[in-house]
Amino acid sequence: MMRTVCLLLLLFFAVPCFAGVKPSFAPIEGEFYPVEGQGYPEKMTNPYTHTRNVTFTGDPIEIYTQINMVTQIQLPAPPVMVNVGEPEGFVVEVVPEFRSIFVKPTTEIKMTNMIVTTENGIYTFILKENPFKPWDIRVAVTNPYRNVRVEDPYTLVWTAYYGKRPAEFQFLPLDIRSPNSSDYIYDPVSQAGCKVDLRRVVFFPRQKQAVYWLRVTNTLPPGVIVSPKSLVVDERSVWTQGLYGVAVPGRDIPMLAKGDGIDMFLMTKTEAIPPVLVVKMSLQSARLVQSEARLSTAAANPVPGKVSEDEKLQKMYQDLLKKEKIETVPGPEGQKETGSKVQGQETKDAVKESVPEVPDEIVIP
């Protein structure tokens, strides 16, 4: 009995000594706690770490750091300028060659923001030193901005399909045409043929690149009365001057039945848009048919030239003078702009009267 009482007294006085010190701040959801039965030490080193790949969506990215540890933030583009809200709480090292920023907190329980400016855009971060959260040893930020380049096939196809200038190309010379010209291909032996339409032409003069949107439809010329045969159009057989790539949405080698069509985007290197686009392709039906289509590249509906701003302002000025009958300062000839036609006519009549008339034929006696 006496031994049991002594043991209880020993446990009663010993437990508070090993309890440790609990944090004075409120915990947040998902934070790290030591295992049950252990207390919170006054100075704690969190051994739990991880790496992350984060997509920047516009909202600030939370970066969890740890005292005496360094965190690497890898960006998709070299940082040009880095601004930290509280530089005293974090040591920040920028290495543009490796597109990286290294962050190391100097004190515990600290939080600030960081704004990073790169050539591709601006990224925002919230730096946190939290000993009760698994900290980041490396965070790789993916590029949220669309890679809009003239050499990008997606950009070329998008521009040709929608016929619109991308916002990123607002200061780039660009020629967009909609010829809507067509040509028929027909093989009387296999009775296979198709119609080739040139829907759009996009030309970048500075980069000397052009993309042509073709639509190949399994239909025969109007003068042919036989029914169209099923055929295959292989984009690998398509050729035109300066061609370096063909983009075909959907299947690789589709079988075209009667009335079916397929879109092809021909990407070429060229100095200028030719007046006639010559396209060679192979049609596979009962036999392999080597064919050629000639398509006009001139715009079907040319846009009329715009009136310059100077001409617009001059016309508005003249209309206002006529409507309000505003008298202006006399000119060098002493006539006003209002009613200039009448005064000008009077001046011409006076000059005409002062000049003697010359006969059409002079007769010498």
Q: What share of the chain is helix, strand, coil (3-state, %, to 5)?
A: 20, 35, 45
For the chain, residues with pLDDT lower than 50 are 11, 14-21, 24-25, 33-38, 40-42, 302-308, 331-344, 347-348, 351-352, 354-355, 358-365
> Contact, 338 vs 327, CB < 8 A?
yes
Distance CA 165, CA 236 (A): 29
- Buried/exposed code over 80-90 (b: 16+ C-beta within 10 A; e: otherwise): eebebeeeebb
What's the pTM value of the predicted model, to 2 decimals? Answer: 0.47
3-class secondary structure, 332: coil
CA gyration radius, the chain? 40
Contact 218/261 with Cβ under 8 angstroms? yes
Helix (H, G, I), strand (E, B) or coil at 11: helix
In whole angstroms, what is the distance from residue 223 CA to residue 233 CA? 23
Give dist(CA 97, CA 247) in Å, integer: 35
The residues pairing with 64 across neighbouring beta strands, listed in sequence order, are: 128
Q: Write down the pLDDT at residue 256.
A: 85
Closest alpha carbon to 201 in 190, 192, 209, 211: 211
| CB 145, CB 121: distance < 8 Å | yes
Residues 6+ away with beta carbon under 8 Å from 47: none
Task: Report pLDDT digits (tens) over 230-258.
Answer: 888 888 889 999 999 999 887 556 678 88
For residue 91, how many other CB atoms are within 10 A of its CB?
13
H or E segment to which residue 177 belongs: strand 175-177
Tokens at residue 103, please?
């962050």
Please report, for residues 92, 103, 127, 209, 341, the alpha-carbon distance to residue 86 in angstroms, rounded to integers and kept in the order given.
11, 13, 10, 49, 74
CB atoms under 10 Å from CB of 63, counted, come to 21
Q: Which conformational region is residue 339 in: left (phi greater than 0), alpha (psi within -120 to 50 degrees), or beta?
A: left
Specify the pLDDT at position 315. Answer: 77
Dihedral sign for Cα atoms in the order 287, 195, 217, 240: positive
Q: How far apart are CA 189 and CA 231, in angstroms?
A: 14
Class of residue 36 by CB neighbours under 10 A (exposed 0-12, middle 13-18, buried 19+): exposed
Question: pLDDT above 70 covers what percent of the chain?
Answer: 68
Closest CA to 196 of 209, 180, 177, 211: 180
243 by Cβ neighbours in 10 Å (0-12 / 13-18 / 19+) ranks as middle
